[in-house]
Amino acid sequence: MRRDLVPAVGNNWHWSPWNDFDMNFPIRGWNECLITYVMSASSATHPISPEVYFNGWVNSTSYINDKTYYGYKLPLGFEYGGPLFFAHYTFMGIDPHGLKDWHTEYWEQNRNHTLINRAWCVENPKKYKGYGDNCWGLTAGDSYKGYVAHCPQEDLGVIQPTAALSSFPYTPEFSMQVLKHFYYDLGDKLWGDYGFADGFSETRQWYAASQRRERGIPFCFASVYLPALA
């Protein structure tokens, strides 16, 4: 990261040229926004202090978890980890291998979050059609009810292809199972001109018309794994 190109970054959500920061919504963890604090701390001109990190990002009731689900310890986040994109967005720009802080080893956090998300779908406590070893992945995206932050605590029977496919670095074999199932078994129901549909529910026979989340993120993460197969 070019520190000389990183200015001070405001640690609040939802700025706009019309309303400034009127929403007054601070960025607190755990979620996809760790990158904001990393960039802020990396600024060569206006770096934030550790106090900003601990009083802002860490100062949240949903930060520390330290519970175990399906045999996997989850250092951070909501029950069962929350939407799977928490393990993706920051780490498009930061390698979690060997990345540690005072509490968390981030490779463990992201891999275990992914395995917990998968295990929930394999167990399938709500008995949705299609869930299993080759069909898992709960994260935010389109559903038959509109945009929903899907996760074990908000499981509507909707799978987002980006969830498992963006998890190739964490679960390469499991993610490959999903990719093959989506492409070869579900085929034209799920695949369109620009990739896989944003979400689908076999229980409701619903397939999203949108493909917006499939344009870049899965390709970024799959590229870490797939060249090794060449």
On the question of pLDDT at 137 being above 50, the answer is yes
Other C-beta atoms lying within 10 Å of the C-beta of residue 212: 13
Which helix (H) or strand (E) segment holds residue 147: the answer is: strand 146-149
> HSE-up of 116 (CA within 13 Å, CB side)?
29
On the question of pLDDT at 34 being above 60, the answer is yes
pLDDT for 222: 56
pLDDT for 185: 97
pLDDT for 22: 66
On the question of pLDDT at 230 being above 50, the answer is no
pLDDT for 7: 45
pLDDT for 6: 44
pLDDT for 123: 98
162-188 average pLDDT score: 95
- Of residues 25 and 223, the one with the higher pLDDT is 25
- Any idea what the CATH number is for the domain that residue 210 is in? 1.50.10.140
| Residue 36 lies inside a defined structural domain of this protein | no
Output the six-digit token pair for 64.
């520390």
pLDDT digits (tens, 9 = 90+) for 180-206: 999 999 999 999 888 899 999 999 999
| Residue 18 lies inside a defined structural domain of this protein | no
pLDDT for 228: 46
| Residue 13 lies inside a defined structural domain of this protein | no
| Residue 12 lies inside a defined structural domain of this protein | no
Nearest alpha carbon to residue 117 among 132, 141, 137, 134: 137
70-85 average pLDDT score: 98
On the question of pLDDT at 85 being above 70, the answer is yes
Other C-beta atoms lying within 10 Å of the C-beta of residue 152: 21
- The rounded mean pLDDT for the chain is 87
Please tell me the total count of domains within the chain: 1
What is the C-alpha separation between 166 and 28, in angstroms, rounded? Answer: 23
Cα distances from 184 to residues 136, 169, 187, in angstroms, run 16, 22, 5
Split at pLDDT 50, 70, 90, the class of 91 is: very high
28-48 average pLDDT score: 91
| Residue 86 lies inside a defined structural domain of this protein | yes
Cα distances from 28 to residues 11, 60, 88, 150, 213, in angstroms, run 9, 6, 17, 20, 24
Q: Which domain holds residue 162?
A: 61-229
Nearest alpha carbon to residue 156 among 167, 142, 166: 142
**Residues in a beta bridge with 135:** 132
| Residue 71 lies inside a defined structural domain of this protein | yes
pLDDT for 1: 45
On the question of pLDDT at 147 being above 70, the answer is yes
pLDDT digits (tens, 9 = 90+) for 20-33: 766 667 789 999 99
pLDDT digits (tens, 9 = 90+) for 46-66: 898 999 999 999 999 999 999
| Residue 56 lies inside a defined structural domain of this protein | no
| Residue 55 lies inside a defined structural domain of this protein | no
The helix/strand/coil state of 105 is strand
- Does the bond joining 102 to the residue before it have cis omega, within 30 degrees of 0? no
